Structure 1
Amino acid sequence: MDSAVDLKCVDYAAGLDMLFNLSPDLLCHFSADGLIIKANCAFKDALGYADEDLLGRPFISLVHPDDVPETMEQYHALNRNETVLLFYNRYRCIDGEYKSLSWNATQLPDGTLYASARDISEIIKARRVKERAEERLRLSNERYKLVTAATKDVIWDWNLKNNRLKWGKSFESSFGYTEDIKNGPIDAWADHIHPDDKEYVLKSINAAINSKDVKFWREEYRYLKADNSVAFIIDQGYIIRNLDKKAIRMVGAMQDITELKEKELRIMKQNEQLMEIAQINSHEIRRPVASILGLMQLFDKELIKDSSLSELVKHLKTTTQELDAVIKRIIDKTAD
């Protein structure tokens, strides 16, 4: 009878050993003083060790130096019969690299320690990749905000898939429209193009979108503000296409050139006024001068005996010719 019981105990122990070694979790049995008594196949395979590398070795010798203080705190907690759940540290592999492990551990009735772990190295790597990507995105968004704050240009982003247009913060301050217009369908932008410019602007931008090899679009037009005033605009955008060269997105900026346009119009008006002055010079002022020069030709030098009178006539003729030359130079400069 005793032999049968002993046999059952042996079978039970063998079964436990089999389960211990077949578990996908990293299982380890430690002595109360932290020496490795037994490690399962998953533990050895994950770190690359054999039994002779592990058995009788202090587990803390495998822990990353930066993780030792916190690991020892958890170890002392286990010796106080406290359970440790989801504790994270790094274990050195046989090749010198480290793997990130997440541990659950408890103290057994005989005072030894039992722990199971899972290799979360890939999860940690993925988390770090995600964190770096999020940080790059945060910095990119921050730079975008700073750029839009530093420029008067109105940045826009047109999603061609859902036909919605998103504006930068300067849209409202530049044109006075509310949030309803700021982030809405493309028609909300098109409806405020000056009626005289709307047809050719829409024709131009649609032609650029539908031309598979076109990457950039630029147009100058008038845009109606919320207060019904008119802004002169230079609008340009970059077209983003998919692998089939179909336009899926367009990003650009509207630049308000109203002040420059007004200066240009003033200069054009001044040029027109100068041309009018030139016309007056060439016809109104030169006519009496030409008449005086004609009359001077009628004077008969032989009949003018008085020397002082002759000198006066000569001086008058010279002065009139000089005046005519000045008028001609004014005309030539104005024409340039």
Structure 2
Amino acid sequence: MKEAALSTLDHIISLLNTSETYYLVFVDDNGNYAYLNDYFIEKYAIYYKDNGVQSAIAALHPDDHSICFKTNMLCRQNPHQCFQLTLRKLNGKGGYTITQWDFKANITSEGRVNGIIGIGYDITDFESRQDHIRFLTSTLQDVAYKQSHLIRRPLANIMGLVEILDQGELDNSSKDIVAMLKQSIKELNHEFDSFLVKDENPLG
């Protein structure tokens, strides 16, 4: 690694060099990594296991190259600002991890930008949970719709028919049957209310 370019990063490196939660990287003016903390190297060892030229896009999903380049330019044009970015990193197994980053230009004591500092962390599990929640929400809404149309509507039709019967001329036996039907429908409707999924979005 290029130790000379890291003098102004010593305070950050001392904090995050051995972190097992956060990635810390430093990208030089040529778009190569001048520094990687141990956690990043461990996670992406298949791409960064030697001390040769370490291209910053080696483990980057091809579809994210463009936004990464744009963010690099923004950091250099606005050296006192921090820019957030979500990037997909190839895992070497045909898939990728999802990572969240904060990028900021590194300014030398002479006031020159000599690279970009990046601090990131893995959000793959979080995104997977969010996808799962969205799937469950969609499923519950579909179940609520089907229950409303496939169960409640026929029940409402039966209730309407019983009301029509009740308004007609009935003997005592038929009136008793209608009364029992009304009571059964009332109980069934109460049971539906107690367990049917409501057509609401649990995420608000």
> 1:303 offset after TM fit, Å?
1.1
* Counterpart in the other structure of 2:197: 330
Q: Does structure 1 residue 217 correspond to structure 2 residue 83?
A: yes
Inter-CA distance 150–183: structure 2 relative to 1 (3 Å threshold):
same
Partners of 1:154 and 1:174 within 8 A in 2: no
Alignment length, in residue pairs?
Answer: 191
* Counterpart in the other structure of 1:198: 65
How far apart are the structure 2 equivalents of 1:163 and 1:309?
84
Task: Pick from 24, 27, 50 the counterpart of residue 158 of structure 1.
Answer: 27
Partners of 1:154 and 1:255 within 8 A in 2: yes
* Counterpart in the other structure of 1:13: none
**CA root-mean-square deviation:** 3.1
Q: Does structure 1 residue 319 correspond to structure 2 residue 187?
A: yes
How far apart are the structure 1 equivalents of 2:178 and 2:151?
26
* Counterpart in the other structure of 1:281: 147
Q: What letter corresponds to residue 318 of structure 1 in structure 2?
A: K
Q: TM-score, normalised by structure 2?
A: 0.75
Residue deviations 1:71-102 (CA, integer Å, cap 9, x gap): xxxxxxxxxxxxxxxxxxxxxxxxxxxxxxxx
Structure 1 gaps, min length 5: 1-136
Q: Does structure 1 residue 254 correspond to structure 2 residue 123?
A: no
Residue deviations 1:25-57 (CA, integer Å, cap 9, x gap): xxxxxxxxxxxxxxxxxxxxxxxxxxxxxxxxx
Higher Rg: 1
Q: What letter corresponds to residue 82 of structure 2 in structure 1?
A: F
Give matches, 1:59-74, under 5 Å: none
> 1:272 offset after TM fit, Å?
1.5
SS in 1 for 2:164: coil
Residue deviations 1:270-312 (CA, integer Å, cap 9, x gap): 1121121122112222232122122222213541423643531
Query: Percentage identity across aligned positions?
Result: 18
* Counterpart in the other structure of 1:267: 133
Residue deviations 1:93-129 (CA, integer Å, cap 9, x gap): xxxxxxxxxxxxxxxxxxxxxxxxxxxxxxxxxxxxx
SS in 2 for 1:170: helix
Task: Pick from 97, 105, 109 the counterpart of residue 239 of structure 1.
Answer: 105
Q: Does structure 1 residue 207 correspond to structure 2 residue 92?
A: no
* Counterpart in the other structure of 1:169: 38
> 1:208 offset after TM fit, Å?
2.6
